[in-house]
Structure 1
Amino acid sequence: MTLIGTLMAVSAVIGDYPVFTGQALRYGLAALILLPLVLRSPVRPRGLREWSLLTALAATGLAGFNYCLVEASRSADPATVGAVVGATPAVMAIVAPLAARRRPSGRILAAGLVVAAGAVLANGPGGDGDLRGTLFSLGALAGEVLFTLLAVPLLPRLGPLRVSAYSVALAVPLLAAAGLVAGERPRLPSPAEGAGFLYLGVVITALAFLVWFDALGRLGPDRAVLFAGLVPVSAAGTGLLLGLGTPSPLQLAGCLLVALGLTCGVKLRERRSTLGAARSRVL
């Protein structure tokens, strides 16, 4: 999530490139890196269920998320979009346990609300937007939630590497088709744009997806998604390092809230794990 927050470092460089075509290039590059690592393995997606989950993951969490994000940004300012998508930790604290047929944890929900509030503040002041922008922002939020939920049943058998490789590969034709529908005219990237897409494909996609899906298996989706609050924090830090602006006191307060929520959520997990191990030794 910290890596994804550095996206602002390259957003200005690729800002003039056709959006959907650029995203197709990004995921295509990640697929070229990841697919050779899994194609020789005897463990592959099998059956209609796994292929359907992977396709749905690519369509909603990757292609759909990017489409909604682009459309939302045309009717709302980035801070408003970020505020809606920043609610992901609070939403996942409820949705993830229900999807696993267990009761949501009140403490994880409280941590998610704190992280979400901090993410809203860390995004900076906003407020410009209309109903269309809000609806597409909610669509992006749904894509972010599905990006995690749809991966959970695939990870035990396929693992993080295969889920990453096949999902990014499936997203390429979907985004290319979206570019055609939008009337985009593909062109060769400039050297600076090429460097930006290289960073997007290698670091923000191939590497970030691998560590994210690995984290889901270790922490569970409701706790792992608490770290989504680090995206605006990382973006603010990246902007400071690049000399693009100094975070306001409100944004700094948001960063502290994110840290507080993360600490509470992760420490709760560690405490329960310690208590469980102690009980096992006693028994």
Structure 2
Amino acid sequence: MEDTFRWTLVTAVAPIAWGTNYFVTHEYLPAGHPLYGAVFRALPAGLLLLALARQLPHGVWWWRSLVLGICNMGAFFALIYLASQLLPVSLASTIMSAAPFTMALFAWGLLAERPTVLVLTGATAGIAGVVLLLGTGSAAVDLRGVAASGAALTMSSFGYVLAKKWGRADEGPVATTAWQLIAGGLVVIPFAVLVEGRPPHLGLPAVAGFVYVGIVATALAFTAWFAGLRRLPATTVGLIGLLNPVTGVLLGVLVSGDVLTLRQVGGLALILLGITFSQVRTTPPSPVARVGQLDVTE
């Protein structure tokens, strides 16, 4: 239980960092360039991690890195950027809050991780909490934004579970995260040139914003995320991801002077309750099963 709690804290670094990304993107990064934004976010972060890992892909990891890089990084970053432009943040975040369910489904099919009643209850409570926390508003819904959010949700959930399946006996999350980021960034470059033309001019605030996004919300966050995926059930990691909108709302309170309503406080409580449910283990693994688990994840 102590080991699970420790890796839960490590994994939580990712959604907390991603939650701050909303504010930085809105305030400092250039609008209208989702493809170049994905490139600027992925490539420098990937090169930084590669310098730390000092390992190039080998064997099957060349094509695996390409597949994972598209699902988890390049295409995902661009789709999220596009959705944030076409939809209110509340609606986009609410759609993405279905990740515990989609990850549970993919984990069931790819990893034979059958979701428990407690996990499903926690996921339901978490999504209800996100709805209460953010609200859905009454603005007109752009179906293109809904499609982008849905595609990002499905693609990333599949990619995360696939990364867990392939990463059970590899060189570690730093190296594999670096490979994914570089592959994802390189794939997006030709599309950015064709669709968006020349790269946007970056002033000092934008450069500082991309430095923060690259180091904290990408390199550090995804390394922590994939480290957690190696040691925790995918459904548990999906629920921890609900800390993303929580961070965004609390940052608004601290930075912008927003005031939490009673409904939002109730939403926060439901999200934290859902994450707590994901930590409960009704049936501890047998010693034999535990040894087998440690063999493939450590």
TM-score if structure 1 supplies the norm length?
A: 0.87
CA contact (8 A) 2:35 2:189 kept: yes
Q: Equivalent residue for 1:116?
A: 127
Match of 1:209 among 213, 219, 222: 222
Contact 1:54/1:166 (8 A) holds in 2 = yes
1:8 aligns to what? 22
In the aligned structure 1, how far is the partner of 2:194 from the partner of 2:112? 39
Partner residue of 1:71? 82
Cα separation, 2, equivalents of 1:70 and 1:137? 9
Which runs of structure 2 are paired with 1:10-89 in the superposition (5 Å)? 10-11=24-25, 12-16=27-31, 18-39=33-54, 41=55, 44-48=56-60, 50-89=61-100
One-letter code aligned to 2:95 = V
| Deviation >6 Å, runs of 4+ | none
Whether the 8 Å contact between 1:53 and 1:150 is mirrored in structure 2 is no
Q: Percent identity?
A: 27
Does the CA-based 8 Å contact 1:68-1:137 persist in structure 2?
A: yes
Contact 1:6/1:234 (8 A) holds in 2: yes
Matched, 1:252 2:265: yes
Whether 2:248 is the aligned partner of 1:235: answer: yes
Moved more, 197-206 or 175-184: 175-184
In 1, distance between residues paired with 2:191 and 2:232? Answer: 34
SS at match of 2:128: helix
> 1:15 and 1:245, CA in 2 relative to 1: closer, same or farther beyond 3 A?
farther
| Residues in 2 aligned to 1:149 and 1:168: alpha-carbon distance in whole angstroms | 17
User: Is residue 153 of structure 2 the alignment partner of residue 141 of structure 1?
Assistant: yes
The alignment's TM-score, normalised by the length of structure 2, stands at: 0.83
8 Å contact from structure 1 (residues 96, 222) kept in 2: yes
Q: Cα offset for 1:23?
A: 2.2
Question: 1:244: how far off?
Answer: 5.0
189-198 vs 95-104, greater mean Cα deviation: 95-104
State how many pairs are aligned.
272
- Per the TM alignment, residue 143 of structure 1 is displaced from its structure 2 partner at its CA by 2.4
CA distance, structure 2, for counterparts of residue 52 and residue 244 of structure 1: 47
Output the CA distance in 1 between the equivalents of 2:99 and 2:90: 15
Q: 2:163 aligns to what SS in structure 1?
A: coil
- 1:158-213 Cα shifts (integer Å, max 9, x gaps): 32111111011111112222311322421442111111001001101111111111
111-120 or 252-261: bigger deviation? 111-120
The more displaced of 96-105 and 27-36 is 96-105
Local SS of the residue matching 2:278: helix
> Are 1:104 and 2:115 matched, yes or no?
yes
SS in 1 for 2:165: coil
What's the counterpart of residue 154 of structure 1?
166
